[in-house]
């Protein structure tokens, strides 16, 4: 296929409510009231966890057969630890983003425990969102005044 | 505030359509038909870009006043470059996830160009999703057979 460009665009609605678009799809992200938002959607760090879990689910479903896994069911729970005092500027020693992300795979498959664990290892290594987190991309920032 | 735990859970619906939940919020992610999906939502890498842009918008809105920026409008466009041949197993030299992410800030503010560029630098350094990508967290994986 070669290199593809994926795009998204984001803009505030009211307060910290953010409208996010990609192709013809839209999601609303926000912050809970405890973090100053209107609580109209999950927040960006929860959305990051959702993208990570969805990506792993997709890799699991798309590549189960090739890995000889008779996948009957999968669900993934994700947890990220973050100290808001970092981005709130209250503690300069606190990491700004997640310090730890835990992925819990719940898999029902007609395979041995060892086969399932090897499959999870395959998923972790072939998940584009996980790879983006594990092996950081180059970043470029452009600023336009309007 | 101290450390907080943010959570999400993901599970497939039909094919590669994935239902993602966090607190009482839900989003549907999927793949376009060209990548084997049902095209019922943005895909996980687009969602990652959306989370990144939303997080930067929120930092901008929440911290404009503190940075003496008279922010009238902001929108952010994001692009990520990814070679699907990596995760599809067609090219083992291709990076699995994004190789580059570009953020384009479009800012309308009653400030000088220099002040706006310094503010964007502040946003980049205080955005939890950006920090999670830039400074990788610890990862933990747990597997449960059901």
Residue A5 lies in a domain: yes
**Is B49 within a domain?**
yes
For residues B49 and B85, membership in a common domain is answered with yes
CB contact under 8 A, A83 and B107: no
A71 & A87 share domain: yes
User: Is A38 near chain B, with CB under 8 Å?
Assistant: no
Q: Provide the number of structural domains found in chain A.
A: 2
Cα dihedral value A43, A49, A53, A54, nearest 10: 40
C-alpha closest to that of A49 among A130, A128, A106: A130
Q: Is B24 a member of any domain?
A: yes
- Chain B, residues 87-116, CB within 8 A of chain A, namely 87-90, 95-109, 113, 116
- Taking CA–CA distances from B45, the nearest residue in chain A reads A129
Same domain, B51 and B121: yes
* A34: exposed, middle or buried (Cβ count in 10 Å: 0-12, 13-18, 19+): exposed
Q: Do the domain assignments include residue B23? A: yes
ipTM: 0.98
Is residue A131 scored above 90 in pLDDT?
yes
Residue identified by tokens 């310094």 is: B118
What is the span of the domain harbouring residue B79? 43-134
Same domain, yes or no, for B51 and B120?
A: yes
Q: Do residue B52 and residue B117 come from a single domain?
A: yes
Domain match, A104 and A130 both: yes
Where does A7-112 have alpha helices with state H? 44-63
pLDDT (0 to 100) of residue B2? 86
Q: What pLDDT score was predicted for residue A146?
A: 82
Q: How far is A47 from chain B (nearest CA, A)?
A: 6
What kind and span of H or E run contains B45? helix B44-63
Indicate if A58 and A110 belong to the same structural domain. yes
Residue A14 and residue A65 in one domain: no
* A130 and A71 within one domain: yes
Is A37 a domain residue? yes
Is A48–B51 a contact, with Cβ atoms under 8 angstroms apart? yes
Give yes or no: residues B18 and B80 share one domain.
Answer: no
- Intervals of chain B under pLDDT 70: none
Q: Is A114 left (phi over 0), alpha (psi -120 to 50) or beta?
A: alpha
For the entire predicted model, the pTM comes to 0.98
CATH number reported for the structural domain that contains residue A91 in this entry: 3.30.300.20
* Backbone phi and psi for residue B4, each to the nearest 5 degrees, phi listed first: -120, 150
Residue B141 domain-assigned? no
pLDDT, tens digit, for every residue of A64-117? 999 999 999 999 999 999 999 999 889 999 999 999 999 999 999 999 999 999
Q: Are residues B32 and B66 in the same domain?
A: no
Which of B105, B24, B21 shows the shortest CA–CA distance to B71? B105
In a domain, A62, yes or no: yes
CB atoms near residue B72 (< 10 Å):
12
pLDDT tens column, A17-55? 999 999 999 999 999 999 999 999 999 999 999 999 999
What's the pLDDT band for A2 if we cut at 50, 70, 90? Answer: confident
Same structural domain for residues A50 and A37?
A: no
Q: Could you tell me if residue B15 is inside a domain?
A: yes
Res B32: pLDDT? 96
Q: Tell me the pLDDT tens digit for each residue of A110-120.
A: 999 999 999 99
The span from the CA of B52 to the CA of A29, in Å, is 11
């Amino acid at each position: 296929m070669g290199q593809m460009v994926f795009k998204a665009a984001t803009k505030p609605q009211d307060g910290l409510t953010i409208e996010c678009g990609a192709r013809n799809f839209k999601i609303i992200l926000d912050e809970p009231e405890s973090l100053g938002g209107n609580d109209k959607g999950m927040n960006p760090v929860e959305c990051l966890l959702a993208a990570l879990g969805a990506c792993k689910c997709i890799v699991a479903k798309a590549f189960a057969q090739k890995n000889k896994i008779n996948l009957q069911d999968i669900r993934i729970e994700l947890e990220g630890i973050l100290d808001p005092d970092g981005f709130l500027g209250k503690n300069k020693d606190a990491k700004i983003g997640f310090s730890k992300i835990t992925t819990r795979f719940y898999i029902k498959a007609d395979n041995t425990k060892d086969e399932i664990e090897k499959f999870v290892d395959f998923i972790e290594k072939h998940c584009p969102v996980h790879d983006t987190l594990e092996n950081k991309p180059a970043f470029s920032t452009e600023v336009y005044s309007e």
